[in-house]
Amino acid sequence: MNMRRELLIIDAQNDFCEPDGALYVKGAETDCLRLAEFIKRKGDDLSGISLTLDSHHLYDIAHPLYWIDRNGSHPDPFTLITDSDVEAGLWTTSRPEEKEWGLEYVRTLKEKGKYTLCIWPPHCLIGSKGNQIQSDVFKAVTEWEEENLISSYKVIKGDDSRTEHYGAFEPEVSRGKENRPDNITALVRRLEKADEIIIAGEALDYCVANTVRQLADALDPSQTGKIILLEDCCSSVDPNSGMSDNFLEEMKKRGMKIVKSTEI
C-alpha cells in the first residue's frame, strides 16, 4: 500500500505573506516560495493537500472596532487588553450588549492561561485581497489539483466575530458550541488516516503552533510522531518572544519531527 502523505498548509494568505499585507510576517514570502517548490517537487507523493484560511469580519473581538475606551476611541493595533483593564473600565465593548461577553472572554483567556487579548490590525477580511491564498502557493496547489484530478481541502477559521481562532480545530474560548463544525471534523478524520502529516504556513508562534497542538491533542498519542514540520516554510510574528522555541521543544517531546523542505 502506498504511503498516505497529507500536506496541511496553515494560513498562507496575502495579509500574512506579502510585505504590504495587513499583518505581514517577516520572511513569509520566502517561506511561500519554498513551499511552492516543495509542492512542485514532491506533489506526486502527496495524497492530499489541505489549507486553513484565516477569515475575519471587520467587527471582530481582536480588531479595534470591537472595543472603545472612556473617550469612545478604539484601541490602536497591538494594544493588549486584560481582564483588569475591562474591570477598571479602561476598555469596554463598542456595543453595550456585548459588555458581559467581553469581560467573560478576557477573564476566560486568563483562567485558561491563553494569550492576553491582542488587538490586531484588521486582517484577512472575508472577500478581501488579504484573505486570498498567496499567489505562489495558490499556483502550486492549483497545478497539483490539475495534475492529480483532485481538489485540495479548504477550511475557513476565524469567522466567529466573538472569539479568536488561532488554531484550526478549536476556538480560543468556546461559546457553548459543543461539537466541531462538520468541515473541521472532516479535516481531523482526513489527517488521522494519513501516515505522515506535513505542516507549513504562518505564523509559527500563533496559528501554526496552536493548530499543531490541537491536532496532536485530537490524534491518538501514538500518532503524534507522524507530524512533520517544514521549518523553512514557517516564520514567526515575533522570533524573539520565545513562543516559537517553546512550541518546537514541546512538540519535539511529543514526537513531532522538524525538517527542512529539501530534506523530504
What pLDDT digit, counting tens, does each position of 200-245 carry? Answer: 999 999 999 999 999 999 999 999 999 999 999 999 999 999 999 9
Whether residues 111 and 213 share a domain: the answer is no
85 and 215 in a common domain? no
Q: How many CB atoms lie within 10 A of CB 65?
A: 17
On whether both 193 and 237 belong to a single domain, the answer is yes
Confidence of residue 176 (pLDDT cuts 50, 70, 90): low
Q: State whether 83 and 139 are in the same domain.
A: no
Integer Rg of the chain from CA: 19
For residue 77, pLDDT beyond 50: yes
**pLDDT at residue 117 greater than cutoff 70:** yes
CA trace torsion 156, 161, 129, 239 (10° rounding): -80
| Mean pLDDT over the full length of the chain | 95
The full DSSP string for 16-44 is HHSTTSTT--TTHHHHHHHHHHHHHHHGG
Domain count, the chain: 2
Strand partners, 260: none
**105 shares its domain with 128:** no
CATH number reported for the structural domain that contains residue 252 in this entry: 3.40.50.850
> What's the number of CA atoms in the CB half-sphere (13 Å) around residue 59?
4
In a shared domain, residues 13 and 133: yes
pLDDT at 102 over 50: yes
**pLDDT tops 90 at residue 174:** no
Q: Are 212 and 199 in contact (CB under 8 A)?
A: yes
Q: Is the pLDDT of residue 177 over 70?
A: no
Average pLDDT over residues 123-131: 98
Write the pLDDT tens digit of every residue in 13-36: 999 999 999 999 999 999 999 999
Last residue of a domain, one of 72, 89, 118: 118
Domain containing 202: what range? Answer: 5-58+123-263
Same domain for 108 and 131, yes or no, is no
Integer Cα distance of 131 and 16 in angstroms: 9
Domain co-membership, 234 together with 142: yes
DSSP letter at 125?
B
Give the pLDDT confidence score for residue 180 in this predicted structure. 64
Q: How many other CB atoms are there within 10 angstroms of residue 184's CB atom?
A: 19
Residue 208: its pLDDT value, please? 98
Place of cell 496547489: 141
Claim to verify: residue 159 and residue 254 sit in the same structural domain:
yes
| Residue 76 amino acid letter | D
127-137 average pLDDT score: 98
CA distance 241 to 260: 22
pLDDT at 1: 46
Sheet with 257-259, edge to edge strand ranges:
153-157, 48-54, 5-10, 196-201, 227-230, 257-259
Instruction: Report CA-CA distances (Å) from 46 to 36, 50, 242.
Output: 13, 11, 32
What residues have CB less than 8 Å from 181, skipping those under 6 apart? none
The pTM assigned to this predicted structure is 0.95
**Is the pLDDT assigned to residue 119 strictly greater than 90?**
yes
Same domain? For 37 and 130 the reply is yes
Q: Where are the alpha helices (DSSP H) in the chain?
A: 14-17, 28-42, 83-87, 99-111, 135-148, 182-192, 209-218, 243-253
CA–CA gap between residue 110 and residue 239 (Å, rounded): 23
Same-domain status, 106 and 144: no
Write the pLDDT tens digit of every residue in 47-66: 999 999 999 999 999 999 99
Q: Which amino acid type is present at position 99?
A: K
Residues 249 and 214 in one domain: yes
